[in-house]
């Protein structure tokens, strides 16, 4: 698909479909919209009336234009209340326009939407992201050629945004990272393994000139990563501790670490997940690693003046005669001992050693993200990720980054007294606490493995996957976290 910007007025644009944004209850057409309606022989007013179009955010309507017109179809896209216009509104409007054009089998599409805060670059980027992500379809595992192809939108022009080519390039670079994350998370566990994640990191490093370090099992043993290796010991596949580094030219403005949970399949271990528990979806348990590698791909292209370390302790959590038992005691690389009271709380064990490793790099801040707890989904639902941090500064940075990215975060409490429920008689701590506040105690567990570096934890268990179409997210993996991480690094 060709995506470009132009200053051609919508009155003069020609092509298969023209998408126009309307605010809520904007039924009276004024200025150039009235002129456009007149040019289209009243088609706009007729479409508004016949479909009872109210301009509600996320709504759309389309119809054919009479013969002799320079456009074949007109598409209306709802923008909601005028005072509620956000970048996410434009992102979703771009997605709605693209999906309507695809449904109407239009090859060329013009999109005319208002500016956000008078910022043409941010507007162009948001619309382009919506278009790019909405039109992406993961058909890798389909055998039907028609399903693989389908109708295609070949060219999209953003009207009134001429000169914003750099914003379009930026949007496509970010979306390439989101799409990588989607493809990694969506692929089954027989396709994406710890070895696959390491190979993906290697491919990014080779293509964009990043530094790569892969620690094998023996290397991790030397570093005392007993928590991570305890999880890995039942799998026939080797664990891969991935450390990918982007370094800018010159002195970096700051140094950051991003850690993604990389469980390519989670059986639950000896505390096995039962049928009906969603075990078939445990291929998504590397959603944090997928987002981390997706962010790495985007950052490598954007080339900010920030040094970023991308880390994932990748493995499977399987069942065999080598599996860790409930009641085992593991020793993490910072010397802390952990009594295993639930082998299905394994992600935090891999993150523990990854956090210790990251802090030794001398970075200014660490963010980990993980599909960590069902408790977070119960608390916040499927569309919002949880944010925990002892640092108000890092928390505020991430909240602002997520607002710009259109990925919802909600800051959760770090109630220190809850850690009492994780104390062990025989070790420093247990790996799980009582059922109430399970997402909070998981964050408190991770906190034990960060000494002084400002740190935040994102629990993305809910929004990493959608079953139904939602804006620019088609059913399947969303690539959640990539755009927030990129926005944070660039801030």
- Residues 201 and 31: their CA atoms lie apart, in Å, by 52
Tally the domains of the chain.
2
Please, which pLDDT band fits residue 147 given cuts at 50, 70 and 90?
Answer: confident
Indicate whether 296 and 444 sit together in one domain: yes
State residue 26's pLDDT score: 72
- Residues 235 and 315: their CA atoms lie apart, in Å, by 8
With 70 as the cut, is the pLDDT of residue 150 above it?
no
367 assigned to some structural domain: yes
**Other C-beta atoms within 10 Å of 316: how many?**
25
* Rounded CA Rg of the chain: 24
- Residues 189 and 3: their CA atoms lie apart, in Å, by 34
- Residues 259 and 313: their CA atoms lie apart, in Å, by 8
Q: Is 457 helix (H, G, I), strand (E, B) or coil?
A: strand
Indicate whether 230 and 93 sit together in one domain: no
The percentage of residues in the chain with a pLDDT greater than 90, rounded to a whole number, is 94
Q: Which residue has the tokens 């770090």?
A: 414
Counting beta carbons within 10 angstroms of the beta carbon of residue 117, is it exposed (0 to 12), middle (13 to 18) or buried (19 or more)?
exposed
E strand residue ranges, 205-351: 211-215, 240-246, 255-260, 262-266, 307-317, 329-331, 337-339
Phi, psi of 66 (to 5 degrees): -60, 165
pLDDT digits (tens, 9 = 90+) for 166-224: 999 999 999 999 999 999 999 999 999 999 999 999 999 999 999 999 999 999 999 99
Overall average pLDDT of the 106-133 stretch: 97
Q: What is the CATH number of the domain that holds 222?
A: 3.40.630.10
167 assigned to some structural domain: no
With 70 as the cut, is the pLDDT of residue 132 above it?
yes
Contact yes or no for 334/447 (Cβ under 8 A): no
State residue 27's pLDDT score: 64
Which range marks the domain in which residue 194 is found? 173-490
Indicate whether 154 and 299 sit together in one domain: no
Please, which pLDDT band fits residue 13 given cuts at 50, 70 and 90?
Answer: very high
Indicate whether 52 and 119 sit together in one domain: yes
With 80 as the cut, is the pLDDT of residue 28 above it?
no
Please, which pLDDT band fits residue 146 given cuts at 50, 70 and 90?
Answer: confident
**Other C-beta atoms within 10 Å of 118: how many?**
7
Indicate whether 320 and 348 sit together in one domain: yes
Positions marked active-site: 273, 348
166 assigned to some structural domain: no
15 assigned to some structural domain: yes
Q: What is the CATH number of the domain that holds 118?
A: 3.40.220.10
Overall average pLDDT of the 51-75 stretch: 92
Please, which pLDDT band fits residue 68 given cuts at 50, 70 and 90?
Answer: confident
Indicate whether 291 and 253 sit together in one domain: yes
165 assigned to some structural domain: no
State residue 276's pLDDT score: 72
Q: Which of 130, 159, 188 is the last residue of a domain?
A: 159
Which token pair is 88?
A: 């996410």
State residue 31's pLDDT score: 81
Residue closest to 12 by CA, chosen among 175, 152, 157: 157
Q: Which residue has the tokens 């963010």?
A: 367
Mean per-residue pLDDT over the chain, rounded: 96
State residue 66's pLDDT score: 81
Q: Which residue has the tokens 């620019």?
A: 472
pLDDT digits (tens, 9 = 90+) for 46-56: 999 999 999 99
Q: Which of 159, 190, 206 is the last residue of a domain?
A: 159
Pick from 25-34, 65-74, 110-119, 326-335: least confident: 25-34
pLDDT digits (tens, 9 = 90+) for 257-298: 999 999 999 999 999 998 777 899 999 999 999 999 999 999
Indicate whether 155 and 186 sit together in one domain: no
- Using alpha carbons only, what angle is made at residue 484 by residues 481 and 488, rounded to the nearest 5 degrees? 135
164 assigned to some structural domain: no
Indicate whether 309 and 415 sit together in one domain: yes
Which token pair is 80?
A: 């909601």
140 assigned to some structural domain: yes
Contact yes or no for 292/369 (Cβ under 8 A): yes
Please, which pLDDT band fits residue 25 given cuts at 50, 70 and 90?
Answer: confident
């Amino acid at each position: 698909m060709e995506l470009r910007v132009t200053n051609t007025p919508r009155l003069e644009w020609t092509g298969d479909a023209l998408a126009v944004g309307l605010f809520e209850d904007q039924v009276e057409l004024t200025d150039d919209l009235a002129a456009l309606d007149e040019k289209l022989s009243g088609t706009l007013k007729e479409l508004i009336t016949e479909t009872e179009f109210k301009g509600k955010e996320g709504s759309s309507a389309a119809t054919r234009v009479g013969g002799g017109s320079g456009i074949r179809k007109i598409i209306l896209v709802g923008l909601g209340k005028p005072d509620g216009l956000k970048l996410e509104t434009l992102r979703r409007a771009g997605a709605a326009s693209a999906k309507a054009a695809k449904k109407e089998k239009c090859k060329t599409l013009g999109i005319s939407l208002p500016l956000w805060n008078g910022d043409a670059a941010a507007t162009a980027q948001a619309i382009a992201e919506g278009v790019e992500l909405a039109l992406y379809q993961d058909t890798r595992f389909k055998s039907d050629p028609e399903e693989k192809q389908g109708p295609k939108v070949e060219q999209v022009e953003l009207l009134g945004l001429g000169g914003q080519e750099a914003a379009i390039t930026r949007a496509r670079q970010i979306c390439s990272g989101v799409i990588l994350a989607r493809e990694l998370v969506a692929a089954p566990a027989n396709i994406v393994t710890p070895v696959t994640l390491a190979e993906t990191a290697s491919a990014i490093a080779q293509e964009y000139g990043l530094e790569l370090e892969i620690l094998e099992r023996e290397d991790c043993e030397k570093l005392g990563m007993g928590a991570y290796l305890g999880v890995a010991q039942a799998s026939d596949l080797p664990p891969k501790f991935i450390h990918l580094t982007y370094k800018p030219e010159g002195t970096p403005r700051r140094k950051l670490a991003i850690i993604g949970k990389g469980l390519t399949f989670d059986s639950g271990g000896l505390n096995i997940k039962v049928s009906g528990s969603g075990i078939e979806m445990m291929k998504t348990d590397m959603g944090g690693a997928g987002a981390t590698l997706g962010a790495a791909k985007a950052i490598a292209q954007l080339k900010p003046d920030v040094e970023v370390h991308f880390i994932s302790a990748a493995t499977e959590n399987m069942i065999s005669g080598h599996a860790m038992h409930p009641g085992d005691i593991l020793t993490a690389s910072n010397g802390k001992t952990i009594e295993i009271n639930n082998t299905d709380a394994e992600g935090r064990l891999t993150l523990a050693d990854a956090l210790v490793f990251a802090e030794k790099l001398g970075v200014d801040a660490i963010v980990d993200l993980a599909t960590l707890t069902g408790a977070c989904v119960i608390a916040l639902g499927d569309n919002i990720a949880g944010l925990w941090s002892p640092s108000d500064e890092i928390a505020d940075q991430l909240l602002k980054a997520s607002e710009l990215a259109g990925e919802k975060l909600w800051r959760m409490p770090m109630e220190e007294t809850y850690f009492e429920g994780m104390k062990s008689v025989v070790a420093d701590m247990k790996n799980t606490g009582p059922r109430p506040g399970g997402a909070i105690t998981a964050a408190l567990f991770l906190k034990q493995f960060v000494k002084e570096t400002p740190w935040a934890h994102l629990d993305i268990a809910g929004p990493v996957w959608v079953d139904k179409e939602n804006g620019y997210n088609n059913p399947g993996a969303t690539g959640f976290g990539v755009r927030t991480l990129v926005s944070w690094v660039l801030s």
